[in-house]
Amino acid sequence: MTSILFVNRFYWPDILGTGKTLTELAEDLAIAGKKISVLASNTAAYDPSQRYAPDEAAGGVVIHRVTAARFDRRKVWGWLLNALLFYPAVLLRLLSMPRHDVTVFLTDPPLLFVLGPIVRRIRGTKFVCWSQDLYPDVAVELGVLSRRSPVTVVCRWLSGWALRRADLVVALGETMKERLVARGVVADRIAVVHVWADKKVAYPVQEADNWFLEKHGLKGKFVVSYAGNMGLSHEFATVLDAARSLRQYEDVVFLFIGDGKQLRRVEEQAQDVRAVFLPFQPEEQVAYSLSAASVHVVTLKAGLEGVLVPKKLYGALAVARPVIFVGPERSEVAQVISEAMCGFVVEQGDADGFVAAVQRLKAGTGERQAMGKRAYEAFVAKYERKIGTAKIRELLEKVAAQ
């Protein structure tokens, strides 16, 4: 039986993007007969005071957790200290654990996969990087690091050194693959597996059956929804400028669901628009909260194409809703929307284009439904959970058999 170990900061019961996606993959691989273990942090993503058990089993997966720092992750220094202290704790645990056939590193915290070649050399395990984002590219594009700073240079060298030694690198899209090749990773060692959503969690709910609308005063409204992490990589100025222009329509409401480093700022800047703010919803309510949208919004700051792929896109497709994407045309999200013909792509800063898209969808119920139908068809054909996890299972089986 193939034994696979996944290493990432967050895992079940955390609902943070990488933790949720990894949980779905690990449990599907366990069902498929693989021996699956996970090494993660014992600290909750959004509640540092909460601690998880050091060792337990759930969903057929054996979970090991290392003691992690609990500084405030919303502050840059807190996030940095949490990350820096996580690496040595993970390495020590990896070197003391039983050997696995394949060790898969995700990228939370950044450059976690740099431990891969070390473990590969000492323990003889195959090393795979499942790239959720690219560092230091994220920090550079967000202005946290300069392109030529010593930290950037060292991080870029470490990243390239580790990635070139991986038996396999899994990228989230073709644009990310291009960036990886530019770093010197051999194209044949890169596999593209798109992000997915779970049709048992996110599925279309008809308006007449959706209690979520009534509960939050959204019944009969045209709801423009942003649901997911509000991190520094996401652009909100365009969305809020458009919201101000749309105040003339009393039935247009902007719904923000989630948390993140920009939440407080967005709340402050949305004081003069019709907006509702809600926390992340429990899994059993996700279908209702996502289906409350008339149209979903996905954003990505310019320069981050191929560096990040917003996962919230796939939840929107799963509930059969059109999408307005604020971000670069040459990005995975824009390509998905274009291929599926399920929404609009608006450049950052083009609030008028955003307003025009909302007005068009608001006026054209038939067009909105047609876009939603095409979104769902694309989801079922390409982006459903079982499709993605089956592809990764096949890839890991090949790596283990090499």
pLDDT at res. 67 = 85
- The top-level CATH class assigned to 207-383 is alpha beta
Residue extents of the structural domains in the chain: 3-196+384-401, 207-383
Distance between CA atoms of 398 and 402, rounded to whole angstroms? 6
What's the whole-model pTM score? 0.90
Distance between CA atoms of 217 and 393, rounded to whole angstroms? 43
Asked if residue 291 lies in contact with residue 321, where contact means CB atoms within 8 angstroms, the answer is yes
pLDDT at res. 301 = 95
Distance between CA atoms of 174 and 402, rounded to whole angstroms? 25
Residues of the chain with pLDDT under 50: none
**CA atoms in the 13 A half-sphere facing the CB of 324:** 33
245-266 residue pLDDT tens: 999 999 999 999 998 889 999 9
- The correct answer on CATH 3.40.50.2020 for the domain covering 3-196+384-401 is no
- CA dihedral for 97, 103, 106, 111, sign (positive or negative): positive
pLDDT at res. 79 = 62
152-163 residue pLDDT tens: 999 999 999 999
pLDDT at res. 82 = 67
- DSSP H or E segment with residue 235: none
Which residues, 6 or more positions from 21, have their beta carbon under 8 angstroms from its beta carbon? 132, 195, 196, 311
Question: Do 3-196+384-401 and 207-383 have matching folds?
Answer: yes
